[in-house]
Amino acid sequence: MDLATDRNNTIVTFSELARQRLIDALTEQNVRGSAAVRIAATGRGAGGITYAMALTSDGSPEPGDAVQDEGDFKILVDAETLPKLRGATVDFVDELMGSGFKIDSPSAGWDDPLAEGIQKLIDGEISAGVASHGGQVELIDVKDNVVYVRLGGGCQGCGMVDVTLRQGIEHLIQQEFPQIHSVVDTTDHASGHNPYYEPSKGGADADASPFYQPAKG
């Protein structure tokens, strides 16, 4: 069911600095007043939910989207993300590693006991194993006994990542949780330092230009 555009339908709150930085970006691209910002939950790790923000120049919602009207721009949120985002705040931070938007959400942890158990396994034994070569493992989702992960650090673009996935990560997860059929790697390895996967052609939203590095809520 679509949610009508309503300035009182507050899903997420922007700090004054975040709002101004976003308006500056829209003004610079000459899309202020017509563009929309899509916010989507991309996973859930030890620190909470991870999100991504992307600018959609035509500002058109997709079926099922919730729309928050901010005047100078609209916020688009898909139905799956909506309960994970409601009540969150967006701020703009300057840090040593760079500046950017950060989303803090009151939602934390996993509702599914299976996902929670797999998260604990990843945070412990699995993370310790891949950390020896600078790798990182993030649990994205668990659906129909399939585990979806994203690999970072030394694992991204590594030529041995399939061995790590099958003989390491998948083996340990299935050993602890035999109901798991498989582990799927959702990583974009083409953007790693030593990519060996071909980048996908096109995308679900070719008009969406990402300008935000996902931050843990």
Rounded Cα distance between 62 and 46, Å, is 31
Range from 100-114, 147-161, 181-195 that averages highest in pLDDT: 100-114
Higher pLDDT, 48 or 75: 75
Q: Two tokens at 182?
A: 């498989």
Q: Report CA-CA distances (Å) from 37 to 32, 78, 98.
A: 11, 12, 21
Distance CA 52, CA 14 (A): 15
> Per-residue pLDDT for 145 more than 80?
yes
Q: What is the mean pLDDT of residues 172-200?
A: 70
Question: Rounded distance, CA 97 to CA 7, Å?
Answer: 35
Residue 131 forms part of a structural domain? yes
Domain that holds residue 177: 113-186
Q: Are residues 103 and 141 in the same domain?
A: no
- Could you give phi then psi for residue 146, rounded to 5 degrees? -120, 130
Is pLDDT at 67 greater than 90 in this prediction?
A: yes
Cross-strand partners of 93: 100
| Average pLDDT along the chain | 77
Whether the model clears a pTM of 0.75, i.e. scores above it, the answer is no
Same domain, 87 and 120: no
Percent of the chain with pLDDT over 70: 73
Rounded Cα gap, residues 103 and 12, in angstroms: 9
- 141 & 179 share domain: yes
The CATH number given to whatever domain includes residue 159 is 3.30.300.130
Q: What are 20-58's pLDDT values in tens digits?
A: 999 998 898 888 888 899 999 887 655 678 888 988 877
Looking at the fold, whether 16 and 103 belong to one and the same domain comes out as yes
Whether residue 211 is predicted with pLDDT greater than 80 in this model: the reply is no
More confident residue, 43 or 174: 174
pLDDT at position 77 is: 94
